[in-house]
Structure 1
């Protein structure tokens, strides 16, 4: 029996290729590679190490994520997308070449009052329509005026925004309005701009600005719900696999799994995969969600459990214990699986737990 549990095999070459694709789409811009949330489940320090020769900067969401990269030997500037929470974090950021996003007045107050041992680089976040964090366009003038008077800030400052609907082609006018809003709020006031997430990089070349922020596209996944990364020349980086740990003969009318929610309409063979929501495979994946067993597409049958998931191999299926199962990856895009589940591929790759082993290839 040569079965194994869940493994996420990640191609470093694919991630490097995807960053090059992003840079080719925006040849006049520098690239901030986004490695937040453990690089979308792919391993933040390993991904940053693989991209350190081609990325101009890195970006993370949490202060602790930036600390990990620095401790791991990453030397490029690191942008804190959520900024800092207190004076101690601001002081550490200044000493360690963290670029800091400022998005609310409480942060600006701390910046004005905290003596720093080194100058700090600031990115002012403008709310162009997302309405989560950021200064409104009406507040921009006063914010830039206050920051320009702070001697320990590298001048002039930079500005950024985050598009709310760039991944919806039918809402193009909304993003165009956001671009105009940002440009009007920052004109003549900043050194560098950064507007585009992955969707913006692909769909809005007029907004590439000085820096782009490719995130999900680095990992070969498209931000557009009805597409796949390969549609844009991207290479999926993660191959999430497991294996069959049992193959059972199954009679018509018999249920499978918790609550007996799936009942076979025919005599068939049921395969049991060593993966479940304890590994990060989505519990809400419905019957019919595809997996590949030895390259053959077969549907889920019954509920996903913590450690096991069952599939209908069909009456003629000849798969055996130990055979490989691809949950998403080569031949089965994460975007397709996500559509079956009713979520986005971002969630699939970032929700992997600590149990699946990460293996890096090429």
Structure 2
């Protein structure tokens, strides 16, 4: 078996959910499990949270159906709403909470014949400018949907663009936009993503939406997961499968992009971009080999990458290699690669074995 595994600590996820709840006593929380629970395995994560989570949030009906099969009672929020008029009937059969963010979606909902009404979340575009109604449109649709036979609860939702930038004026503006609509009699309100849960109490409202914090990564550039009190859930672990010495001026990897400036010992690791490791990670990106921090060298290949073992002379074939995890935060690897932890976690591919533990 190829020596590469993503080990998922489910107890870390349950503890991180509890952190979100402690940040906002009395509020409920949708655990965001879209994109296969950010690469961690939706079946296992939903099962671990079965008796804890107030609800779950997903991106599409296919994801919602998978969660409903595992969790018969919890609320499931369809974050982007229905993509087609026919999907409203399926959403009603599954008993979903559905976001409505456009005139087309609202009209399709009102035209639908449903076996039971839906909990509807009108989405305010408070400044993200991606999905949602402006304030005037939302007031109009509030009037149109209030009392409609297709609607059970009528709720309000929005999403921050810059909550990960502490003290952002844009975030203050978005919060004001949201609060300006609270003269309307919404049953439930939701605004806070992970960053807002952790740092903006005024945004907590009725329902929280913890995403990246559930998986033990940070939404902030200037605060680590450890500082936030959340535990990494995934360790991506490979193995050292080859070692060789290279002389000064010899090159390593495709394109010869890395050249040895000293006599060097190079190790080859059983992980590449087809596993989800970022191809664009530059030389110098940290890797842990046998407990020692070393640097990535050369270009990441499809199935392998190479590291400089010159300063780790005891490293040997068969040694464990941590690409990220307990010893090396995924956010640090993401920073070196010019991306974010969200992308690295969610891109771990299906050919990487997942192993689950709880401790």
TM-score bracket relative to the smaller structure: over 0.9
Partner of 2:161: 164
Shift of 1:39: 0.6
Does residue 234 (structure 1) correspond to residue 215 (structure 2)? The answer is: no
- Greater shift after overlay, 72-81 or 113-122? 72-81
Shift of 1:5: 2.5
Which stretches of structure 1, 4 residues or more, deviate above 4 A after TM superposition? none
Shift of 1:149: 3.7
1:207 and 1:256 map into 2 onto residues whose CA distance is: 50
Pairwise mapping of residues 1-362 of structure 1 onto structure 2 (< 5 A)? Answer: 4-155=2-153, 157-171=154-168, 173-314=169-310, 317-362=313-358
RMSD after superposition? 1.2
Residue 14 of structure 1 contacts residue 219 of structure 1 at CA under 8 Å; is this kept in 2? yes
Shift of 1:198: 0.3
**Structure 2: stretches of 5+ with no match in the other structure:** none
1:319 and 1:184 map into 2 onto residues whose CA distance is: 60
Shift of 1:261: 0.7
SS at match of 1:108: helix
Shift of 1:206: 1.1
Residue 112 of structure 2 contacts residue 150 of structure 2 at CA under 8 Å; is this kept in 1? no
Residue 56 of structure 2 contacts residue 74 of structure 2 at CA under 8 Å; is this kept in 1? yes
1:126 and 1:116 map into 2 onto residues whose CA distance is: 25
1:296 and 1:343 map into 2 onto residues whose CA distance is: 24
SS at match of 2:323: strand
Shift of 1:74: 4.7
Residue 49 of structure 1 contacts residue 74 of structure 1 at CA under 8 Å; is this kept in 2? no
Shift of 1:345: 0.7
1:213 and 1:150 map into 2 onto residues whose CA distance is: 27
SS at match of 1:241: strand
Residue 48 of structure 1 contacts residue 74 of structure 1 at CA under 8 Å; is this kept in 2? no
Residue 225 of structure 1 contacts residue 344 of structure 1 at CA under 8 Å; is this kept in 2? no
2:222 and 2:333 map into 1 onto residues whose CA distance is: 12
Q: How many residues align?
A: 358
1:72 and 1:194 map into 2 onto residues whose CA distance is: 24
Residue 240 of structure 2 contacts residue 270 of structure 2 at CA under 8 Å; is this kept in 1? yes
1:315 and 1:335 map into 2 onto residues whose CA distance is: 24
- Greater shift after overlay, 87-96 or 26-35? 87-96
1:227 and 1:311 map into 2 onto residues whose CA distance is: 28
**Structure 1: stretches of 5+ with no match in the other structure:** none
1:5 and 1:61 map into 2 onto residues whose CA distance is: 32
SS at match of 1:55: coil
Residue 99 of structure 2 contacts residue 121 of structure 2 at CA under 8 Å; is this kept in 1? yes
With the length of structure 2 as denominator, give the TM-score of the two structures: 0.97
With the length of structure 1 as denominator, give the TM-score of the two structures: 0.96
- Give a deviation string over 1:294-350, Cα, whole Å, max 9, x none: 110000111100011000000651211111000000111011111100011111101
2:36 and 2:245 map into 1 onto residues whose CA distance is: 41
2:72 and 2:339 map into 1 onto residues whose CA distance is: 33
